[in-house]
Structure 1
Amino acid sequence: MPACSDAELRRLDLTLLLVFEEAMASGKLSAVARRLGLTQSAISHALKRLRDIFGDELFVRTPRGVQPTPRALALRGPLSEALRLIAGAVAPQGFDPATTDRIFRIGAPDLETALFAPLLARPEGGPRFVFLPLVRQAAVQALLSTEIDLALGFGGPRPNGCEAATLFEEDYLVVARHGHPAMAVPMDLAAYVAAGHVLTAPGGTLGGIVDQVLQARGVSRRVVVAVPYFLAALATVAASDLIATVPRWLALAQAKAFRLVTAPPPVPIRSFAVRMTWSRRAASDPALAWLRGQVVEAVSAMRDVAA
Structure 2
Amino acid sequence: MSIGRTDLNLLKVFEAVYEEHNLLLAGKRLHLTQSAVSHALRRLRELVGDELFMRTGKGMVPTGRATAMAPALRDALRRIEDSLGVEPFSPDSSRRRFVIAANDHVTAVIVAPLSRDLQQAAPGIDLVIRPSTRLDLAEQIDLGRIDLAIGIFSQIPPRLNSRTLMSQGESILMRKGHPAARRKLTLRDLTKYPLVTLSVGGQEEGAVGGFIVERGLARQSEMFDRRALEEALRESKQEPRSRVTVPHSLAIPALLRDTQMLAIVPASLAVALAKSGDLVRRAPPYKAGTETLRAVWHGRDAHDAGHAWLLERVAAAARAAEEALG
TM-score by length of 2: 0.72
Q: 2:20, 2:26 within 8 Å by CA — same for their partners in 1?
A: no
User: What is the correspondence of 1:203-214 to structure 2 with a 5 Å cutoff?
Assistant: 203=201, 212-214=227-229
CA-CA distance at 1:179 after TM superposition: 3.5
Of the candidates 272, 289, 296, which is equivalent to residue 277 of structure 1?
296
Amino acid at match of 1:183: A
- Residue of structure 1 in register with 2:21 after alignment: 30
The residue number in structure 1 matching 2:126 is 128
Counterpart for residue 164 of structure 1: 162
Q: In structure 1, what is the Cα distance between the partners aligned to 2:85 and 2:289?
A: 49
Matched, 1:240 2:259: yes
Does 1:257 pair with 2:276? yes
Partners of 1:159 and 1:40 in 2: CA distance: 39
Give, in angstroms, the shift of residue 294 of structure 1: 0.8
Structure 1 residues not aligned, in runs of 5+: none
Summarize the Cα distance change of 1:29–1:179 in structure 2 as closer, same or farther, 3 Å threshold. closer
Q: Structure 2: 5+ residue runs without aligned partners? A: 55-60, 204-209, 211-221
C-alpha deviation, 1:244, in angstroms? 0.8
Q: For residue 185 of structure 1, give the secondary structure of its aligned residue in structure 2.
A: coil
Q: What amino acid does structure 2 have at the position aligned with 1:286?
A: A
Deviation at 1:172, TM superposition (A): 0.8
- Aligned pairs (5 A) from 1:115-154: 115-122=109-116, 123-124=119-120, 126=123, 127-135=125-133, 138-154=136-152
Letter matched to residue 160 of structure 2: C
CA 1:68–1:191 in structure 2 vs 1: closer, same or farther (change >3 Å)?
A: closer
Partner of 1:93: 88
User: Tell me, what secondary structure is at the counterpart of 1:182?
Assistant: coil
CA contact (8 A) 1:31 1:146 kept: no
Partner AA of 2:271 in structure 1: L
The CA RMSD over aligned residues, in Å, is 3.8
User: Does residue 111 of the first structure (1) align with residue 105 of the second (2)?
Assistant: yes
2:268 partner letter:
W
1:134 match: secondary structure? coil
Distance 1:43 1:29, change over 3 A: farther
CA distance in 1, matches of 2:201, 2:75: 42
Change (3 A) 1:265 1:177: same
SS at match of 1:306: coil
Pick which of 260-269 and 290-299 moved more: 260-269
Structure whose residues are more often helix by fraction = 1
Aligned letter for 2:101? G
Q: Would you say the 8 A contact 1:253–1:302 is kept in 2?
A: no
The 3 A distance-change label for structure 1 pair 43 and 180 is same
Higher RCO, Cα 8 Å, sep 6+? 2
* Cα gap change, 1:284 to 1:59, in 2 (>3 Å): farther
Scaled by the length of structure 1, the TM-score of the pair is 0.76
Aligned amino acid, residue 184 of structure 1:
R
Percent of residue pairs bearing the same amino acid type = 30
Cα distance, 1:192–1:85 mapped onto 2, change above 3 Å: closer
